[in-house]
Amino acid sequence: MPPESPTEPSHLPHSYLIAAAASALTTALLFTLFPRIEQANVAMLFLAALIPVAMKLGRGPASLCAILNVIGFDAFFIEPRFTFVVEDLRFWITFAVMLVVGLLLANLTAGLKAQASIATERERKTRGLYELARRLGAALRNEQIAESVEELITEQGLGDAVLLFPDEHRRLSPTQKRMPMLDLHLAQWCFDEGRSAGIATSTLAAGPLHYLPLTASVRTRGMLVLDPADSRSLESAEQLQHLQTIAALAANALERTHFVAVAQDTLVQIESQRMREMLLAALSHDLRTPITSIMVIAETLATSDTVEGEARTELLTSLRRQTQGMARLVTNLLDMARLETGERPLRLDWQSLEEIIGSARQALADQLRGRKLTVNITPDFPLLHADGVLLERVFVNLLENAVKYVPADMHMGISARTEDDTAVIEVWDEGPGMTGRNLERLFHKFTRGAIESSVPGVGLGLTICRAIVDAHGGAISAANRPDGGASIEIRLPLSKPPEWTQEEESGTHE
Amino acid sequence: MNDTTSMSILIVEDEKEIRRFVRGALTDAGWKVIEAGTHHDGLLEAGTRKPDLIILDLGLPDGDGVDFIRELRSWSTCPVIVLSARIDETDKVRALDAGADDYIEKPFGVGELLARVRASLRRTHPGLDEKSAIHFDDVVVDLAKRQVTKAGEPVHITPIEYRLLTALLAHPGKVLTHRQLLKDVWGPGFIEHNHYLRIYMGHLRHKLETDPTQPRHLLTETGVGYRFVL
């Protein structure tokens, strides 16, 4: 609601009528009290009555009231009464003084009131700016800044405003908030030139809207476009300045969010850099053993003429396994890095757990040869909505770990069942189990801190398993089985299975 | 066994070591080998020497392997096996959908290489049409009578399961992408419906494999498709 201009009431014709009525009322009131009150006191009271009139109705009407009061005083309280004739000429001085004092009183009081209004108005504006500054101080995103500014401008009665922000090519993007008369090209020009345009400016002043670039210390960060509440909103220099102050606050806030974003990006880059360095360190560490083995085997085969038959086959098989192990390690590390940086998004599709386990077993065919691995999947186990390649990686890693830890003649297994809307998959073995009180730490081998130099490759495998399972919205945990051996439990959320139409059975196919 | 010994194989690979290794393996197996180090030379050689098979490394620096395949396919049906460094399974799927016949992941061994080469060469030479029955393990698929038995006992196979099975059997040793299988068995409208494949392959595995959790013939190529091996 636009505040009433303090001088407005004096522009209204009926203010004068009210002032005249007030004068008449005062006269009537005093008349009833006369002659108990002396003339001198009547004069004082006439003057006193001017004050409320001046405060309420302003300069003009109060001046009229002052004049009418003098006339009334003359007419009703000075002999001869009920005439304008004055017998005692000393009363002319009284009239003169009364008129002058009355007019002064009227004007000063009205002036004082006006000052008070202006002060209140200024305080309102300042409070608005203070509130805006406070809200902008807490704003983290450009949308929040836009909201706060647009709201304040509406509250302050300036009109309807919308903030425009540039994309990474410095092109302003249209906002969701509608402003029908908004000219995006003009806004873009203002943004590029850093100049304002539209109503109350020197460029395209006939336009319906006011375009104001939001420029802070470094560069223009956005545009403020105002649809003024009425044509007079921006008339006064004070109103325009008020708008510009708001714009300056907004520009500063935008600059701050910009640099916060830059700082965050830099932090992410530093993190990625650090992750890469850790992974490289892990890689060189974990590759040392297989590389050494390969070197030894290759040298043995090259230099010794006597390695034949079974011994030779064994060496060659070992060579192959070491190489495959290295390849898996490198793949793990690559995928870990890419998962962390978001470079490899999840490719979700309907997967058969049976197939994934089958593929994992295939990939580790050499390692699993001769081992007892039992797979038990409940008959009605549903399709999983998951990234097949990554889920296969989880099982490859878990089986590879089991093979490293569990003696060849001990049982290993994978079992899967559902619990309400969760798939519960367990990879278990009857081996020695896992050491350490806090088994959770097994999954954190390669986050901040030291790289554990335990069985090579184990740590990273579990860390990747966790990253992949987490990415699927699931959970992975490790525990020792009560009867001995280790158990890794994976829980994955089940999605509603897809629709499919069963074909009609036609008996044994002919 | 097909007589493929008079055939020539073109290898398009920029790394000398890999070229040398593959050449050695292939010539040992009795094939002639042509080499090219770039896509450009590869296309030239393919056009002039008309090899029976092309082995293409997807990681060549002078272009996208998929473009090479598309270009080649516009005038040749020569089978193509792509070598991939396993960065991303979508590279392989793209290559296969663009017209490649199979893929080998690096690092690979000689055995795998030769098996894939033979499987792809077999495609262009008489295959399923001439056979009347296919045997694997204790399973017999009688194509003439459209009957399947396991260990002598008839196995109940639905029409769609049979279609899926024969689609795989038609290209023994070769990978078939999800898209290809869905199109062949269910039709073009189903190419986004991988879950049908999962369900039906599961049925086939349970009916025909001795251990469906450790299949030896109906293999899954995760993220890519399926492969039938004898």
Spatial distance between the Cα atoms of A405 and A43, rounded to a whole number of angstroms: 112
Question: Residue A223 forms beta bridges with which residues?
Answer: A164, A213
Does position A66 have pLDDT exceeding 80, yes or no?
Answer: yes
Task: With CB atoms and an 8 Å threshold, state whether A392 touches B222.
Answer: yes
Provide the pLDDT for residue B123. 61
Does position A87 have pLDDT exceeding 80, yes or no?
Answer: no
Q: What is the least distance, in Å, from the CA of A268 to any CA of chain B?
A: 23
Q: CA A323 → CA A88, A292, B50, distances in Å?
A: 130, 11, 36
Helix, strand, coil percentages in chain A from 3-state DSSP, rounded to 5: 55, 15, 30
Does position A82 have pLDDT exceeding 90, yes or no?
Answer: no
- Over its C-alpha atoms, chain A yields an Rg (Å, rounded) of 44
Confidence class for position A459, pLDDT limits 50, 70, 90:
low
Q: What is the DSSP string of B52-92?
A: SEEEEETT-TTS-HHHHHHHHHTT----EEEEE-SS-HHHH
Name the packing angle between helices A237-303 and A90-138 (round to 10°): 10
Confidence class for position B157, pLDDT limits 50, 70, 90:
very high
Does position B40 have pLDDT exceeding 70, yes or no?
Answer: yes
How many helices (H) and strands (E) are present in chain A, helices listed first?
12, 12
Task: With CB atoms and an 8 Å threshold, state whether A356 touches B156.
Answer: no
Share the mean pLDDT of chain A.
83
Confidence class for position B3, pLDDT limits 50, 70, 90:
low
Region of residue A289 (phi > 0: left; psi between -120 and 50: alpha; otherwise: beta): alpha
Region of residue A279 (phi > 0: left; psi between -120 and 50: alpha; otherwise: beta): alpha
Q: Under a CB-based contact definition with an 8 Å cutoff, are residues B189 and B183 in contact? A: no
Task: With CB atoms and an 8 Å threshold, state whether A331 touches B89.
Answer: no
Q: Under a CB-based contact definition with an 8 Å cutoff, are residues B139 and B150 in contact? A: yes
Closest CA to A352 of B122, B212, B198: B198
Task: With CB atoms and an 8 Å threshold, state whether B195 touches A498.
Answer: yes
pLDDT in tens, A263-310: 888 888 887 787 778 777 777 777 887 888 888 888 888 887 776 778
Spatial distance between the Cα atoms of A366 and A140, rounded to a whole number of angstroms: 55
User: Looking up tokens 């045997």, which residue turns up?
Assistant: B135
Number of neighbours of residue A91 by Cβ within 10 angstroms: 18
ipTM given for this complex: 0.88
- For residue A392, the chain B residue with the least C-alpha distance is B222
Provide the pLDDT for residue A395. 96
Q: Which residues of B have a CB under 8 Å from any CB of A?
A: 86-90, 107, 109, 146-148, 154, 156-162, 193-196, 198-199, 201-202, 205, 212-215, 219-223
Spatial distance between the Cα atoms of A334 and A308, rounded to a whole number of angstroms: 38
Q: What is the least distance, in Å, from the CA of A188 to any CA of chain B?
A: 39
Six-digit token pair at A367?
């390692």
User: Looking up tokens 């969010």, which residue turns up?
Assistant: A257
Residues of chain B found within 8 Å of residue A351, distances taken between Cβ atoms: 198
CA atoms within 13 A on the CB side of B228: 20
In one-letter notation, the amino acid at residue A481 is R
Looking at residue B4, the DSSP 8-state letter turns out to be -
Of A344, A389, A500, the CB nearest to B195: A500
Spatial distance between the Cα atoms of B198 and A352, rounded to a whole number of angstroms: 6
Six-digit token pair at B23?
């050449």
Spatial distance between the Cα atoms of A297 and A56, rounded to a whole number of angstroms: 106
Looking at residue A12, the DSSP 8-state letter turns out to be S
Of A320, A344, A358, the CB nearest to B213: A358
Spatial distance between the Cα atoms of B184 and A125, rounded to a whole number of angstroms: 73
Six-digit token pair at A94?
């009284």
Provide the pLDDT for residue A450. 41
Provide the pLDDT for residue A250. 92
Q: Under a CB-based contact definition with an 8 Å cutoff, are residues A240 and A222 in contact? A: no
Closest CA to A389 of A362, A423, A360: A360
Looking at residue A452, the DSSP 8-state letter turns out to be P
User: Looking up tokens 């005038």, which residue turns up?
Assistant: B75
User: Looking up tokens 């002039």, which residue turns up?
Assistant: B48
When comparing pLDDT for A46 and A286, which is higher? Answer: A46
Confidence class for position A454, pLDDT limits 50, 70, 90:
very low
Best to test chain B binding among A328, A349, A355, A425 (most B CBs inside 10 Å): A355
Provide the pLDDT for residue A286. 76
Provide the pLDDT for residue A510. 38
Q: Under a CB-based contact definition with an 8 Å cutoff, are residues B14 and B38 in contact? A: yes
Provide the pLDDT for residue B161. 94
Average pLDDT of the residues in A22-40: 81
Confidence class for position A103, pLDDT limits 50, 70, 90:
confident
Average pLDDT of the residues in B207-222: 93
Average pLDDT of the residues in B143-151: 89
Q: Under a CB-based contact definition with an 8 Å cutoff, are residues A279 and A336 in contact? A: yes
In one-letter notation, the amino acid at residue A435 is T
Confidence class for position B1, pLDDT limits 50, 70, 90:
very low
Q: Under a CB-based contact definition with an 8 Å cutoff, are residues B104 and B81 in contact? A: yes
Confidence class for position A447, pLDDT limits 50, 70, 90:
very low
Closest CA to B209 of B201, B196, B218: B218
Confidence class for position A45, pLDDT limits 50, 70, 90:
confident
Q: Are strands B225-228 and B175-177 parallel, antiparallel or unpaired?
A: antiparallel
Closest CA to B12 of B35, B45, B28: B35
Does position B127 have pLDDT exceeding 80, yes or no?
Answer: no
Does position A327 have pLDDT exceeding 90, yes or no?
Answer: no
Q: What is the least distance, in Å, from the CA of B32 to any CA of chain A?
A: 27
pLDDT in tens, A149-188: 999 988 888 888 999 988 888 888 877 777 888 888 888 9
Q: Are strands A412-419 and A349-351 parallel, antiparallel or unpaired?
A: unpaired
Provide the pLDDT for residue A436. 67
Provide the pLDDT for residue A448. 39
Average pLDDT of the residues in A375-399: 93
Q: CA A304 → CA A297, A301, A320, A321, distances in Å?
A: 10, 6, 19, 21
Confidence class for position A78, pLDDT limits 50, 70, 90:
confident
pLDDT in tens, A189-218: 999 988 888 888 888 888 788 999 999 887
pLDDT in tens, B92-106: 999 999 999 999 988
DSSP 3-state of B48: helix
Closest CA to B25 of B11, B12, B38: B11
Q: Are strands B80-84 and B102-105 parallel, antiparallel or unpaired?
A: parallel
Provide the pLDDT for residue A48. 86
Does position B126 have pLDDT exceeding 70, yes or no?
Answer: no
In one-letter notation, the amino acid at residue A101 is V
Does position A456 have pLDDT exceeding 80, yes or no?
Answer: no
Spatial distance between the Cα atoms of B104 and B117, rounded to a whole number of angstroms: 10
In one-letter notation, the amino acid at residue A490 is I
Provide the pLDDT for residue A130. 92
Residues of chain A found within 8 Å of residue B141, distances taken between Cβ atoms: none
Provide the pLDDT for residue A319. 86
Task: With CB atoms and an 8 Å threshold, state whether A356 touches B222.
Answer: yes
* Helical (H) or strand (E) element with A17: helix A13-33
